[in-house]
């Protein structure tokens, strides 16, 4: 089966220099084709008719794929040993329960290339254009209304309950468990570290005070980052 060569999408880059940086980063990322085809078996019975590479960020290898059974899919590939898309599945499901428009994760498959993990997430492709691209041709009032709507949706995202602090696991639990007692015991160590590194003591005390106050609160705890929401404008 012939698969068309992927091409880059550079309209996401703010400058020519950053576009070149992204191309350099992604030139080193190329998951084995057989891994992608194997992952697609859980989603589609057809072969790949078109495959377009999307270069819009530095973390994942991403493709826009259309299959012969007319499915439009986004395939994201990660090599991160700590984050394998299961955390994003949890975050996206929580967003969907709050009526935030998010893609459906259709499959997550785990592979290894030697000793290196390769995780593949397949999700449906949302309709519409990225706001960052569409805004230039939209009336100012329309853009303002869309931004207000985005703010409302982000409020829902930040209302998702999590436990702990730091990156989330697949159950919405952070990697750290800070308590008032823990912070009190560690305060002197953090102040010493601040002094040794030239970090302002007042700033460090403000950070520690914030962490004390944060204890017990409901927080979004990186849900927005794990969800990776890209707002789009539907036709």
Q: What is the CATH number of domain 16-127?
A: 3.30.200.20
Q: What is the pLDDT of residue 57?
A: 81
Q: Which two tokens stand for residue 142?
A: 């329309």
Q: What is the pLDDT of residue 181?
A: 60
For residue 170, give the nearest of 49, 56, 59, 88 by alpha carbon. 88
Ordered by start, the domain boundaries in the chain are: 16-127, 179-214
Helices (H), 76-215: 86-97, 131-134, 140-158, 180-197, 201-214
What is the end-to-end Cα distance of the chain in Å, rounded? 34
Please give the chain's pLDDT, 235 residues, in tens.
434 444 455 455 567 788 888 888 888 888 999 999 999 998 987 889 999 998 888 889 999 999 999 899 999 999 987 778 988 999 999 999 999 999 999 999 999 988 899 999 999 999 888 887 888 899 999 999 999 999 999 999 988 988 876 678 888 887 766 655 666 667 787 888 888 888 899 998 888 888 777 665 544 445 555 554 445 555 4
Q: What is the pLDDT of residue 187?
A: 79
């Amino acid at each position: 089966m012939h698969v068309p060569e992927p091409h880059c999408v550079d309209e996401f880059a703010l400058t020519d220099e950053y576009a070149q940086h992204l191309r350099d980063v992604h030139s080193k990322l190329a998951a084995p084709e057989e891994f992608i085809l194997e992952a697609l078996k859980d989603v589609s019975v057809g072969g790949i008719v078109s495959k377009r590479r999307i270069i819009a960020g530095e973390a994942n290898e991403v493709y826009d794929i259309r299959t012969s059974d007319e499915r439009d899919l986004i395939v994201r590939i990660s090599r991160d040993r700590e984050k394998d898309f299961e955390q994003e599945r949890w975050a996206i499901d929580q967003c969907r329960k709050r009526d935030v428009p998010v893609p459906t994760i259709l499959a997550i498959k785990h592979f290894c290339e030697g000793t290196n993990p390769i995780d593949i997430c397949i999700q449906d492709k949302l309709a519409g254009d990225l706001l960052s691209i569409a805004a230039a041709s939209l009336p100012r009032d329309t853009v303002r209304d869309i931004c207000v709507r985005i703010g409302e949706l982000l409020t829902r995202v930040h209302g998702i309950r999590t436990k702990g602090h730091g990156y989330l696991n697949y159950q919405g639990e952070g990697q750290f468990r800070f308590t008032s007692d823990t912070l009190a015991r560690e305060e002197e160590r953090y102040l010493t570290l601040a002094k040794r590194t030239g970090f302002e003591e007042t700033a460090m005390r403000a950070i520690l005070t914030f962490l004390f106050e944060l204890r017990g609160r409901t927080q979004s705890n990186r849900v927005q980052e794990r969800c990776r929401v890209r707002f789009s404008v539907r036709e």
